[in-house]
Amino acid sequence: MSIRIGIYGYGNLGRGVECAIKQNPDLELAAIFTRRAPEKIKTVGENVPVYHIDKASEMTDKIDVMILCGGSATDLPVQTPVIARLFNCIDSFDTHAKIPAHFANVDAAAKEGGKVAIISVGWDPGLFSIARVISGSVLSDGKDYTFWGKGVSQGHSDAIRRVEGVLDGKQYTIPVKQSLDLVRSGADPELTTRQKHTRECFVVAAEGADKAKIEQEIKNMPNYFAEYDTTVHFITKEELDRDHSGIPHGGFVIRSGKTGKDLENRHIIEYSLKLDSNPEFTASVLVAYARAAYRLNTEGVSGCKTVLDIPPAYISAKSDAELRSELL
Amino acid sequence: MSIRIGIYGYGNLGRGVECAIKQNPDLELAAIFTRRAPEKIKTVGENVPVYHIDKASEMTDKIDVMILCGGSATDLPVQTPVIARLFNCIDSFDTHAKIPAHFANVDAAAKEGGKVAIISVGWDPGLFSIARVISGSVLSDGKDYTFWGKGVSQGHSDAIRRVEGVLDGKQYTIPVKQSLDLVRSGADPELTTRQKHTRECFVVAAEGADKAKIEQEIKNMPNYFAEYDTTVHFITKEELDRDHSGIPHGGFVIRSGKTGKDLENRHIIEYSLKLDSNPEFTASVLVAYARAAYRLNTEGVSGCKTVLDIPPAYISAKSDAELRSELL
């Protein structure tokens, strides 16, 4: 019998979840829930039941795990506690600073409902967090580095588009190769924000707009660009659509540490991702952790968890014995 | 209160465990057990109690977790089941094909004793297994690659030393850079044994030995070298001791997979290690998992586990709340 999944919120991430479910024969898409008019939703697959989110609470017996696909800013802080009372669920809450508060809210709700909720699932937070915790536990004397990119930052792209005279734009975060190599060499450098990443912007300007002014405004924007070496390229809308329509991303988690009587031996642990589609990869992580939420709940567990609380075997479709003989 | 660790077997790995315990304030070295005469053992630290292994069974109230540091060929298959009846314990059993049988033996013993045993801890099996299971669960449609090196293979070095006319020798396993890059490019190549690794040998020949004959004998040795491109360098004993006394190792676990409606998006997950000292790094992994064995047992769990059954948070010295706010 397959695990019945509900998708709560249907944007890029929700569509990614729909695709990912099709890649996993032990999972089955039970329903999609949307805030929009259900009849106007065009799903990736055929004959997928789409309901208004108000219907979700009537379907607790039809869904084993709900995957929340809303945003971290306003959707998930409200939605996850509500859903966790009714369903086992997974979210990708990624506002690092607010995780403890979100965890507490969801934990109370999930315990009340006797359900398991796994929050902050994805790659950062998510797979990168696992890499940081394992590497840091193994190499106690060491230093952590996280680099992101090359990839599209939605927040920075939005910031560009808010500049006067800008019609459209896309921003890539790019790790500085020399700094990455320095870290890999075991030099344990102290790196400034500027030394870790550069920012590259592709901008479509309105006709007659002052490009020099736009460029300066972008480059000096506090929090977003001022602390970085930023490059601005002006291109046409056609070029933007042709060359920059993807949502690639990725990054590197590196721990450099020492062991031995006099800490004379150096070790480097590196975990990296190179992703063609950030939302589809994140969706694939969410779907794998849905297995864990379901399995834990069938074992009688309830409450809020994160990826750090989940044994690797729990996210696999293979049995423990298969994993031991094939992958250990 | 710190977790009291016993070291069972005191070679390179045991010494590595002794050093690793000193790097972790929440752990304490309670005793070292050896098959040799205890008074002849020179420990890394001062005033470390050393006992004959026969004394271990009298010390069940003094040790929270025993770390077995014997070899997989003959020591661990016998020792781990015996120790698991008396102590929570960790071993680094690494004969992949025999893991299911070893697991069954240790599981029965640990359950009988009400203890937790975590077997096959280290980096492969171990951290690499975690990478394989997580990557494979997230990217269901994909291909796995494991490369080892650059590093010293003890088994191959031993094989060299058994050749007539060879006084000493060291063998390095080296991943083929072009194949690694091909995998990283997402080409999903089918790679032969020869295409994945080369073998480089540094050999000290006896005076007057037939070097050409030694080289041919090494290169044509079945199982060890015949399937690989092997290079043999003849050097002096002084050069061997000066340039090849370390025990470095490392490797790469890469999964290349696809997502999307028509599997149109490609993702690469790469996990890699670059280690100055294979035994010291392995020891650091064993020590981290000792925390997990202890914690699970205090929660009432017993039986045999592997790294795949352990939540990342259980190997950390930090609390769950600290991990969520600092590393998630």
CA distance B267 to chain A (A): 4
Q: For residue B311, which residues of chain A lie inside 8 Å, CB to CB?
A: 308-311
- Residues 210-249 on A with a CB inside 8 Å of B are none
CB contact, 8 Å: A312 with chain B? yes
The residue-averaged pLDDT of B39-66 equals: 97
Q: What percent of chain B has pLDDT over 70?
A: 100
Q: What one-character DSSP code corresponds to residue B226?
A: T
Q: Is the pLDDT of residue B95 over 90?
A: yes
Each residue of B287-296: pLDDT tens digit? 999 999 999 9
- Which residue(s) pair with B274 in the sheet? A268, B250
Whole-angstrom Cα distance, residue B202 to residue B205?
10
CA distance B52 to chain A (A): 24
Q: What one-character DSSP code corresponds to residue B126?
A: B
Each residue of B226-244: pLDDT tens digit? 999 999 999 999 999 999 9
B285 with A138: Cβ contact below 8 A: yes
In B131-164, which positions are buried (b, 16+ CB within 10 angstroms) versus exposed (e)? bbbbbbbbbbebbbbbbbbbbbbbebbebbeebe
Residue A146 three-state SS: strand
Residue A191's pLDDT is 97
CA distance B36 to chain A (A): 23
B306 with A328: Cβ contact below 8 A: yes
Residue A175's pLDDT is 98
A268 with B281: Cβ contact below 8 A: no
Each residue of B195-217: pLDDT tens digit? 999 999 999 999 999 999 999 99
Q: Which amino acid is at A293?
A: A
Q: Which amino acid is at B201?
A: C
Residues A301, B294 contacting (CB under 8 angstroms): no
Taking the CA atoms of residue A107, residue A112, residue A116 and residue A117 in that order, the dihedral angle to the nearest 10 degrees is: -40
Q: How far apart are the first and last CA of chain A?
A: 26
Per-residue pLDDT of chain A (328 residues; tens, 9 = 90+): 899 999 999 999 999 999 999 999 999 999 999 999 999 999 999 999 999 999 999 999 999 999 999 999 999 999 999 999 999 999 999 999 999 999 999 999 999 999 999 999 999 999 999 999 999 999 999 999 999 999 999 999 999 999 999 999 999 999 999 999 999 999 999 999 999 999 999 999 999 999 999 999 999 999 999 999 999 999 999 999 999 999 999 999 999 999 999 999 999 999 999 999 999 999 999 999 999 999 999 999 999 999 999 999 999 999 999 999 999 9
Q: B1: which residues sit within 8 A by CB, 6+ positions away?
A: none
Could you tell me how many CB contacts below 8 A there are between chain A and chain B?
208
Residues A151, A248 contacting (CB under 8 angstroms): yes
Q: For residue B324, which residues of chain A lie inside 8 Å, CB to CB?
A: 99-100, 103, 306, 308
Residue B124's pLDDT is 96
Residue A124's pLDDT is 96
Q: Which amino acid is at B277?
A: S
Residues A88, A66 contacting (CB under 8 angstroms): yes
Q: What is the ipTM of this complex?
A: 0.97
Measured over the CA atoms of residue A280, residue A283, residue A285 and residue A287, the dihedral's sign is negative
Q: Is the pLDDT of residue B1 over 90?
A: no
Q: For residue B127, which residues of chain A lie inside 8 Å, CB to CB?
A: 134, 138, 269
Residue B77 three-state SS: helix
The beta-carbon neighbor of B311 closest among A16, A266, A308 is A308
Give residue for tokens 């005191």. Answer: B10
- Which residue(s) pair with B145 in the sheet? B254
A312 with B307: Cβ contact below 8 A: yes
Residue A1's pLDDT is 81
Chain B residue with minimum CA distance to A270: B272
Measured over the CA atoms of residue A162, residue A163, residue A164 and residue A165, the dihedral's sign is negative
Residues B69, B13 contacting (CB under 8 angstroms): yes
Q: Which amino acid is at A323?
A: L
Which tokens sit at A68?
């929340």
Mutation for B interface: A46, A324, A326, most B CBs within 10 A: A324
B311 with A315: Cβ contact below 8 A: no
Whole-angstrom Cα distance, residue B57 to residue B270?
43
The residue-averaged pLDDT of B271-284 equals: 98
Backbone angles phi, psi at B78, to 5 degrees: -90, -45
Residue A102's pLDDT is 98
CA distance A65 to chain B (A): 17
Q: Which amino acid is at B70?
A: G
Q: What one-character DSSP code corresponds to residue A65?
A: E
Closest CA to A115 of A142, A82, A143, A140: A82
A323 with B19: Cβ contact below 8 A: no
CB contact, 8 Å: B254 with chain A? no
CB contact, 8 Å: B267 with chain A? yes
Residues B265, A245 contacting (CB under 8 angstroms): no
Whole-angstrom Cα distance, residue B259 to residue B264?
6
In A238-262, which positions are buried (b, 16+ CB within 10 angstroms) versus exposed (e)? eebeeebeebbbbbbbbbbbbbbee
Residue B148's pLDDT is 97
- Residues 56-85 on B with a CB inside 8 Å of A are none
Mutation for A interface: B105, B140, B254, B296, most A CBs within 10 A: B140
Mutation for B interface: A123, A134, A252, most B CBs within 10 A: A134
Chain A residue with minimum CA distance to B125: A328
CB contact, 8 Å: A268 with chain B? yes
Q: Cβ of A299: how many Cβ atoms within 10 Å?
A: 9
Closest CA to B146 of B121, B120, B180: B180
